[in-house]
Chain A
Amino acid sequence: MKFIRAVLAAITAVGVIASVSGCSGASGITHGETLRILSGSENEALSQILDECEKKTGVNIEMTYKGSVDIMQELKSGAPDYDAVWTASSLWISLGDEKHIVKHDESICTTPVIFGIRQSLAEQLGFMSEQVSVKDILSAIENNKLKFCMTSATQSNSGASAYIGFLYALLGKNSALTNDDLASPQLREQIKSLLSGVERSSGSSGWLEEMFLAGDYDAMVNYECLIIDANRQLVNAGREPLYAVYSYDGLSIADSPLGYLDHGDSKKEDAFKKVQEYLLSEEVQSEIEGTGRRISLNGVSAQNKAVFNKSWGIDTERILSPITMPAADVLSNALNLWQSSFRKPSLSVYCLDFSGSMKGEGNQQLVNAMKQVLVQENARENLLQAGEGDVNVVVTFDRKVLNVYTSESADADSLERLYESVREEQIGGGTDIYTAAKYADNLINENYNPSDYTAAVILMTDGVSENTNQIAFEKFYRTSGGDIPIFSIMFGSAESD
């Protein structure tokens, strides 16, 4: 299977960039049709099943992982580069399929979006009971008893679902959210204070889980299947597992629909049907259930009972009442408000490689990527626009740091000037990624209070470092606390590994 890097989609204004691990040609034996699937990142966990699917169906599968909002935008523009779409929730397909190209969409599995809280803390806070409301959890957060991580609401389905759930809980409402509700000053105050308790915000649910495992946090809002997966790893590492908390008033269910994108190629359609049929076959459904995803309303099959571990609070018997998603215009308003004013401000330091090897195509890709992020007109299209208090810093480097440009404003002109600096920057000599990354990490710690921000270092490079400083850097990163995530995006001649 071939993974394609979704570079731009992975850049988020909240400061997190995915470094997608690449592998290719796992099977290499198929000569059949290629199916290009635009997918949510939570499906990365199914890669083994997809590898097997390629072998059994003879269809080559190319997965491109993007956030839900990006997928919705891609569908709106007709998704010409894809043959199928596989989102976390059918909501994003319904909102995006303006061109009526989605066909044969069927739910592959379901999983609710829930809170996973450190077991001892959940017990201490009284969250092991049947009747926990989002409000109970929110008051624990407000009283500084609980810090949690979630994904960005504007980039990821689980984040959007959780955020909308918070709004309902704060309003004490169970009928649909309206634009009038969103205008309430009291609500705005409350949600801002709540989101200031977010420890980390990540661009996708899969990456959030990785970040959670690498760090030391109290809780995360994520898919039940990823909480299960995280718990397996936590327990294996001798760490405390998370307790699954299903609030009765603020949860949602991801239904994971896989649909065909009709561009009039019947061979692709046949290939799609083969893949979908394979994934829905009884045997493969059971394998999917084995990853902690729900496949049936009639409870878990006997052979996968142990996966849905009751001692972790996982409860498949309980009736789940998901929240009512607001109407399309209200949802879009809510997401824009998240991005522009509710979320914790971001502090993003972009370390941009201007070494000789980046000359030409690499530099062009890099400048284009920055154009999408910094020029607000472009950023807004993907709900990546800067918000109140955001800080954006550009550090250009070759073997040393070349220049540092800063914008401490969400003002479009200020950010456009930052982009102009990137565009006009001259290519230099050799490459040392380490020096630049270390510089960025120091810059954040010395000039800002990182806990006031969702901070991140984003390294854009072709990865051709002239010295092998990787080990030295890893040592520095560990000893410096390693609290600020560093994400790398590869350009130009870079190998995906």
Chain B
Amino acid sequence: MTEPVPVVAQAVAVLRREVAVERAGREALVTTAPYVAAFVVLAGLAFGPSPQQLAPVAGGTTWLAVLGATVPLARAVAAAEVAEDSWDLLRGLAAPGALFTGKLLAAWAALALTWALATGLVVLLFEAPVPPQALYGGALGTLALAALTTGFGVLVAAGTRRRGLLAALVLPAGLPALLAGTQLATPGVPVLPWAVLMTLYAATVLAAVWAVFPVLLEE
């Protein structure tokens, strides 16, 4: 008789699988990195191009790029499994909590890298400083968006129609991260209220998606 695999080990296994899929196809990297680079350059032209005009919109540009990246990333959450007909098998093998945690961590890593890339480009091209609180906003905001990406990605992956609905679901739901993240990335703005909003938002979204995730896995 075999021992049941602990949920943590299952989550690690799911995460390792996600990393292996990414290493094999570079799907998230190829999807988001060129998009973010193009977005920041085009935003610089649209909002600027003088540095005096670009500095005030630097934080917002970063978060708009990150929020926009959630749509293609959500589409990829279960794409590999659906393509190779292993989605049902994976749902049967891994507990919902482990599946959520593994997928969430993978999405968080992708979004955190997206945020870091967008921030780096904004610092370089917009000549805008990054206040320390922006790191807090970046960490928590990308975590909250990763939870949304995972939840809505699984929801749409199981559907047979209206896949384009993903953008209409993810983008509005990410509004608080956009707002609080932008304010935390703007020098001179009071930190506490926006840090509180970001913390509450991340905690609420994580709890809500965690609670409904098993339901999304059902046929």
B is bound to A: no
A interface list, Cβ under 8 A from B:
none
